């Protein structure tokens, strides 16, 4: 009688409900652990890869500017010699 009163009051949980609750909590915990671990590992690796790609792109842009501006230096020095004379 006491057990029936506790069960009807919601204090006693069936074995099926306990099993479902424990399995659900473990599943959510494992998903959260996997998510945070993968974010930490992947983001660190992708950040390094992005940094490396950015350095390559900056070097490529500097090379392009240098090769584009080089003829202008020659022209300017040639015209400067004409203006000095």
Domain boundaries, the chain: 36-61
Q: Is the pLDDT of residue 73 over 80?
A: no
Q: Evaluate if residue 84 carries a pLDDT over 90.
A: no
Higher pLDDT, 71 or 30: 30
- State the pLDDT confidence band at 2, using cuts at 50, 70 and 90: low
Q: In the prediction, which pLDDT does 11 show? A: 59
Residue 69 and residue 54: Cα distance in Å, rounded?
Answer: 22
> Nearest-CA neighbor of 39 among 50, 29, 51, 31?
31
**Which residue's entry shows tokens 């983001």?**
43
- For every residue of 10-56, DSSP letters joined together read T-S--HHHHHHHHHHHHHHHHHHHHHHHHHHHHHHHHHHHHHHHHHH
pTM comes to: 0.46
Contacts of 21 (CB under 8 A, 6+ apart): 13
- pLDDT digit string (tens) for 16-67? 888 999 999 999 999 999 999 988 888 888 888 899 999 999 999 999 988 8
């Amino acid at each position: 009688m006491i057990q029936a009163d506790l069960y009807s009051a919601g204090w006693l949980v069936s074995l099926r409900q306990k099993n479902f609750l424990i399995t659900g909590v473990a599943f959510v915990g494992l998903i959260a652990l996997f998510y945070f671990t993968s974010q930490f590992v992947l983001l660190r690796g992708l950040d390094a890869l992005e940094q490396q790609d950015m350095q390559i792109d900056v070097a490529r842009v500097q090379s392009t500017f240098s090769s584009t501006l080089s003829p202008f230096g020659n022209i300017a020095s040639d015209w400067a010699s004409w203006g000095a004379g």
